[in-house]
């Protein structure tokens, strides 16, 4: 089950001045409160692809994960108006013929009012007995219930979105959906060829490379402002896989 989460969504249903948020049943996703939802970002080069700015931490321990996590995307305008993505509705399950007559009548009478909106559900969250620290990457299309691609990876127990050292490395892929680990077409057309077109390459970049890039940038700024010793800067940069300016 995931303890960390990265979401991306292809959404062309926005106008200038509007933003895309993800809202869900977990505290990290706002507990279904739009004002506490997580905003995704895009740019002229990425649009219509929207991404989180950094991975979300869902739990400290896999055993503390809830049985499931549901979520949806919301378009919010500058005045606070919201448009939730439509994924359809689901009826209450029909009980079998072995149910009591009273129960069957109650269910039949309540079915019209028992429909509920269909939400997205993260895979694997119900496997609470599996003591494995994992991160989950999921690529969605707005108003399409099925993920374009998803994959989960083992990580170190001390993994966190801000970790930039060896603990940020993404380990073995545990599960995936999609075509042979390749990125869907909407993602391949907006990525630089040097980055690779695989889901694994994207996971490595968002879970490990982005924190390292942020740390490298901070170190360079620190060196300029406070004259960080060149030898120390070089050592840290070599550890992170970069070269000091």
State both tokens at 29.
């996703």
Buried-state track 57-71, b at ≥16 Cβ within 10 A, e below 16: bbbeebeebeeebbb
What are the sequence ranges of the domains in the chain? 3-89+113-177+184-191
CATH level 2 (architecture), domain 3-89+113-177+184-191: Sandwich (2.60)
- CA torsion sign for 179, 20, 23, 59 is positive
Rounded Cα distance, 199 and 59, in Å: 23
The helix, strand and coil proportions of the chain, stated in percent and rounded to the nearest 5, come to 30, 25, 45
pLDDT in tens, the chain (245 residues): 568 999 999 999 999 999 999 999 999 999 999 999 999 999 999 999 999 999 999 988 877 888 889 999 999 998 889 999 999 887 655 444 444 555 555 555 555 555 778 999 986 555 554 567 889 999 999 999 999 999 999 988 888 887 777 677 888 888 888 766 788 988 876 544 444 678 999 999 999 888 888 877 777 787 778 777 777 777 777 766 655 55
What's the rounded Cα separation, in Å, for the pair 69 and 65? 9
8 Å CB contact between 78 and 17: yes
For CA atoms 122, 120, 67, 123, the dihedral sign is negative
DSSP secondary structure, 84-137, as one string: EPP--EEPPPPPPTTS-HHHHHHHHHHGGG--EE--EE-TTTT-TT----EEEE
């Amino acid at each position: 089950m995931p303890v960390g989460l990265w979401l991306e969504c292809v959404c062309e249903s926005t106008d200038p001045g509007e933003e895309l948020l993800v809202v869900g049943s977990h505290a990290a996703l706002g507990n279904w409160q739009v004002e506490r939802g997580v905003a995704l970002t895009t740019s002229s080069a990425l649009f219509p692809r929207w991404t989180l700015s950094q991975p979300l931490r869902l739990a400290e321990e896999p055993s503390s994960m809830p049985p499931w996590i549901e979520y949806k995307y919301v378009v919010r305008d500058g005045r606070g108006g919201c448009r939730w993505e439509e994924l359809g509705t689901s009826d209450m399950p029909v009980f079998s013929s072995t149910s009591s007559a009273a129960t069957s009548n109650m269910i039949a009478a309540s079915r019209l009012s028992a429909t509920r909106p269909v939400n997205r559900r993260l895979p694997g969250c119900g496997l609470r007995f599996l003591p494995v620290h994992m991160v989950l990457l999921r690529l969605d299309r707005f108003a399409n219930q099925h993920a374009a691609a998803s994959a989960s990876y083992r990580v170190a127990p001390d993994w966190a979105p801000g970790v930039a050292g060896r603990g940020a490395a993404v380990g073995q892929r545990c599960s995936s959906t999609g075509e042979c680990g390749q990125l869907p077409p909407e993602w391949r057309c907006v990525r630089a060829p040097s980055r690779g077109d695989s889901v694994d390459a994207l996971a490595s970049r968002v879970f490990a490379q982005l924190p390292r890039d942020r740390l490298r940038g901070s170190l360079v700024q620190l060196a300029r402002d406070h004259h960080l010793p060149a030898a120390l800067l070089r050592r840290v940069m070599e550890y992170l896989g970069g070269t000091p300016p």
